[in-house]
A and B are shown apart, each in its own frame.
Chain A
C-alpha cells in the first residue's frame, strides 16, 4: 500500500517535471504600441499551452537592437525596418495587428467630433504656421463652431516612439512642406510646441492646457474618453476615428505590392477610411539558434491571428490582420525560417 502511494507520488512528480521541462518559454522585446495586446495574448496562450511569453516593451529601436544581437527570440517594431537591414541581419518581418493614431485637443465647449481638421492644417499647426484657434484655415473647416482666439499649443511625444513615426509619416504624406523641412521618423526636430513623455504624458498635458492639441494611439484615447477631432481623408470626406473606419483603411492597403509586408495604410483611398492607420511588426530571425523557441513564436502568432486572438485584439481596440495577409505571413514562415539543418522550422 505504502509502496504504491510512493510510486504514485513519484509518477505524479515525474509527469509534473516532464510538463515543466516541455514548456517552451519564449522572449520578445520592442515596440510599446502593441505591448498591451501581446501581453493579453501571452497570458491567454500560457493558460492554453503552458508556454509563457516574456515580452519587454522597451521601444522599437530597442527591439531592433535586441533581435539583431539575438538576445531575444523575436523583436517588435512599429516602423517597418528597411529591406537592406532585414537582409543584412537575416530577419523576417511580418505584421501582427493594426492600430490608429488620433488627434486630441482641449477647447472650452467643443466636444469630440465637433472639430474638423485636414491633414495640411494639422501639419501647419505642428509647423507653428497656424498659431491661433480662430485662424481662417481652421474657421473655414468649422462653420458654426465658436473658436476662441487662443494660442494653439502643439504637444508631441518627447520620447522617440512608433506613434510619432506614424503621425509624422502622415504629415509628410499630406504636406510637402513638412516632408522637406521635418520629415518622418520615431523622433524629429519639432518646429513648434512642447514634448511630453508617452501617451499618458500627451493626454494629461492636453487635458491641463487650454488650447493644446496632441496625438495619441486610438486605444489610449478610447480607454480614457479623450476629446478627438475628425479628419478629412483622401476621398474628401470628414471621418471620425472609429474601428469601422480603421478597418476600411486597412482593407484598402496595397498588401500585394508591399515588400516585407511593409504596406502603407496612411491616407488610403476608402470612402470612410481613417487616414492615420498603421500595422505594427515582428522581426524573426531566418536562422534561429534556438529552434524550439522560434517555432513557439510562430505557433503563438498563428494562434493570435485566429479567432481567440482576434477577439482579444478587438477587445483592446486593435484591428486584426485581414485573412489574406495572415495566409501570406504563414507561407513566409514556412518558406523562410530554417533551422541549422536547413529544414523549415514550422
Chain B
C-alpha cells in the first residue's frame, strides 16, 4: 500500500501543495459569464416592462385609471379605453380553453393508456407538428377555410335555434359573419391543443403504474381508472397546463387578427366581431404617429397584456410546481 502511494509521488503526479491551480484564471471568467447570462435575462425583462410602462404612462395620466374600464376606442376624437380589448382577449382565450380541454384529455389518455404502440408514435408526432405550424398559417386557414364554413353552415342554424331562447340566446345574436369571437376561439383552441396535450401526456405518464394496476386489479374499468386514479393524481399539474395554454392564447396575434372580425364594440354574442389586445396593437400600430395619444394608449394596452399574462403564468407555475413538493 505504501509502495503504491510512493509510486504515485515519484511518478508524474505532483503533491497537492505543488499542483498548479489550472482553473485560477479561466474558472472565474466562466462563472462570470454564467452570472452575466442569468442577470441578462432579468435585466432584459425588467427593461421591457419599464419601457412598456413608461411608454404607456402618458395614456394613463391622460385618461386616469378609467382607461382600464372604458369601452371607447375612437381615433377620431382621441378617446381610448381598454375594456373592449381586455374583454375580447379573455373571452376568446376562455373559448379556446373550453374547446381544447376535452380534446386534450382525450388525446392524452388515448396516447398513454389505449393506443397500440404502432399508432402511438404517429399521433404523438402529429400533435407535436401541430405546435410547429406558424401562427400565420392558422390565420390564413381560419380566414379562407373556417370563416366561410362558419358563415354558411354553422352559425345560421345556431342563431336560428338558440338565438330565440332567453339568456342563452344572448350568446347567439347578430348576423352570421363567419368571423368573430367563436371562430377566433376555435383557431386558438387548435393552436394551444398541442401544448396542453403534451403536458397532460407527461403528467399521465408519471402516474405510478402500481396505482393504476391496483385499480384495474380490483375491477376498475378504463374510465374509472382514468377518473379516480390518473386525473386526481395529476390534477394540479393539469390545471397548470391549462393555464399555460391560456397564457399562450392570450398573446396570440396574427391568427386572431385574421378571424376575430376586428370591431371595437362590446357584445355578449359568440358570433359578434370583437378585438383582442394583441390584434388591436397589430392593426393600429402602423398608423400611430410618434408622441400621439394613440401610440401611448397602444403601449399601455401592451403593458396590460403583460400584466395579465404574468398573472396567468405565475398561477400556472405555482400549480405545476406544487405537485413536485
Binding site for B on A (CB under 8 A): 58-62, 64-65, 68-69, 151, 153, 158-161, 182-190, 193-197, 201, 204-205, 208-209, 211
| Chain B window 145-182, contacts with chain A (Cβ cutoff 8 Å), 1 for yes, 0 for no | 00110010000000000000000000000010111100
Contact of A68 among B178, B283, B290 (CB under 8 A): B290
- Checking B75, B143, B257, B288 against A188 with a beta-carbon cut-off of 8 angstroms, the contacting residue is B75
Q: Select B143's contact among A59, A160, A190, A201, beta carbons within 8 Å.
A: A201
A282 CA / B305 CA spacing, docked (Å): 36
Given contacts A60-B287, A161-B287, contact A185 B76 (CB under 8 A): yes
CA distance A183 to B78 in the complex (A): 11
A182–B79 Cα distance when bound, in Å, is 12
Using known A-B contacts A186-B75, A188-B76, A201-B143, determine if residue A194 contacts B177 with beta carbons closer than 8 Å: yes
- Considering the complex, give the chain B residue whose CB is closest to the CB of A211: B175
- Contacts A185-B75, A194-B180, A209-B177 hold; do A62 and B287 have CB atoms under 8 A apart? yes
Interface pair B290/A204, CB less than 8 Å apart:
no
Min C-beta distance of B137 to chain A, whole Å: 15
Interface-forming stretch among B127-135, B214-222, B258-266?
B258-266
Q: Which residues of A contact B264 (CB under 8 A)?
A: 189-190
The reply to whether B287 and A186 contact each other, CB–CB distance below 8 Å, is: yes
Q: Provide 19 A-B residue pairs closer than 8 Å at the C-beta atoms, listed in order of the A residue.
A: A60-B287, A61-B289, A65-B289, A158-B261, A159-B287, A160-B287, A183-B77, A185-B75, A189-B76, A190-B264, A194-B179, A194-B261, A194-B273, A195-B263, A197-B283, A204-B144, A205-B147, A205-B179, A208-B147
Task: Determine the chain B residues whose CB is within 8 A of the CB of A196 once the complex forms.
Answer: 179, 262
| B289 contact from A64, A184, A201, Cβ within 8 A | A64
Instruction: Find the A residue at minimum CB distance from B139.
Output: A197
Given contacts A61-B286, A62-B287, 11 further A-B contacts (CB under 8 A): A61-B288, A153-B177, A182-B76, A183-B76, A183-B77, A186-B287, A187-B287, A190-B263, A194-B263, A196-B179, A208-B151
> Which positions 213-268 of chain B face chain A at CB distance < 8 Å?
257-258, 261-264
Is the pair B175, A160 in contact by a Cβ cutoff of 8 Å?
A: no
A133, B217: Cα distance in complex, Å: 68
Closest 6 CB pairs of A and B: A160-B287, A195-B262, A59-B286, A158-B262, A183-B76, A61-B287
Chain B residue with minimal CB distance to A131?
Answer: B175
Contact with A along B270-296 (1 / 0, CB 8 A): 000100000100111011111000000
Q: Which residues of B contact A (CB under 8 A)?
A: 72-77, 143-144, 147-148, 151, 175, 177-180, 257-258, 261-264, 273, 279, 282-284, 286-290
Cα(A59)–Cα(B283), bound, Å: 11
- Complex Cα distance, B282 from A59, in Å, reads 12
| Cα of A30 to Cα of B28 in the assembled complex, Å | 50
- When distances are taken between beta carbons in the complex, the residues of chain B under 8 Å from A184 are 76
Provide the residues of chain B in CB contact with A195, threshold 8 Å: 261-263, 273, 283
Closest residue on chain A to residue B274 by CB atoms: A194
Check A158–B257 contact: CB distance below 8 A. Answer: yes
Residues of B within 8 A of A159 (CB): 282-284, 286-287
B286–A160 touching, CB < 8 Å: yes
What B residues does A185 contact at CB under 8 A? 75-76
CA distance A68 to B289 in the complex (A): 10
Known: A160-B284, A208-B147. A189 touches B262 (CB 8 A): no
Contact of A158 among B147, B283, B288, B289 (CB under 8 A): B283
Is the CB–CB distance between A62 and B75 below 8 Å? no
A190–B283 Cα gap in the complex (Å)? Answer: 14
A190 and B73 CA atoms in complex are apart in Å by: 10
Q: How far is the CB of B288 from chain A (nearest CB, A)?
A: 6
Q: Cβ of B75 and Cβ of A69 under 8 Å apart?
A: no
Q: Which among A158, A161, A193, A205 has the greatest number of chain B C-beta atoms within 10 A?
A: A158
Interface hub of A159, A161, A194, A209 (most chain B Cβ within 10 A): A194
CA separation between A330 and B175, bound complex, in Å?
Answer: 52
CA gap between A59 and B288 in the complex, in Å:
10
Q: Which of chain A's residues have a CB closer than 8 A to the CB of B175?
A: 151, 153, 211
Q: How far is the CA of A299 from the CA of B75 in the complex (A)?
A: 36
Inter-chain contact A204/B76, CB cutoff 8 Å: no
CB < 8 Å: which of A59, A188, A209 contacts B178? Answer: A209
Instruction: Give chain A nearest CB distance to B77 CB in angstroms.
Output: 7
Select the residue from B77, B262, B264 with max chain A CB neighbours within 10 A: B262
Measured between beta carbons, the chain B residues less than 8 angstroms from A186 are: 75, 287
Listed residue (A59, A62, A186, A204) with the most chain B CB atoms within 10 angstroms of its CB: A186
Contact assessment for A197 and B257 in the assembled complex, using a CB-CB cutoff below 8 Å: yes
Instruction: Determine if A59 and B290 form an interchain contact, defined as CB atoms under 8 angstroms apart.
Output: no
With A186-B287, A201-B143: A208-B148 Cβ-Cβ less than 8 Å: yes
**A62 partner, pick from B151, B262, B286, beta carbons under 8 A:** B286
Is A189 in contact with B73, judged by CB distance below 8 angstroms? yes
Nearest opposing residue in chain B for A79, CB measure: B287
Query: B76: shortest Cβ distance to chain A, in Å?
Result: 3
| Closest beta carbon of chain A to B259's beta carbon, Å | 10
C-alpha spacing A200/B151, complex, angstroms: 19
Measured between beta carbons, the chain B residues less than 8 angstroms from A59 are 286-287
- Determine whether the beta carbon of B76 is less than 8 Å from that of A65: no
Q: CA–CA, A209 to B282, complex, Å?
A: 24
Whether A188 lies near B74 (C-beta < 8 A) is yes
A183 to B75, CA, bound (A): 9
B180: which A residues are within 8 A, CB to CB? 194
Say whether, besides A182-B76, A190-B263, A197 and B284 are in contact (CB < 8 Å).
no
A186 to B263, CA, bound (A): 15
- Give the docked Cα–Cα distance between A113 and B282 (Å): 35
Q: How far is the CB of A240 from chain B (nearest CB, A)?
A: 29
CB B38 to nearest CB in A, in angstroms, measures 34
What CA separation (Å) do A160 and B175 show in the bound complex?
Answer: 24
Collect the chain B residues with CB atoms within 8 Å of residue A61's CB.
286-289
**A89 CB to closest chain B CB, in angstroms?**
10
B143 contact set on A, CB distance < 8 A: 201, 204
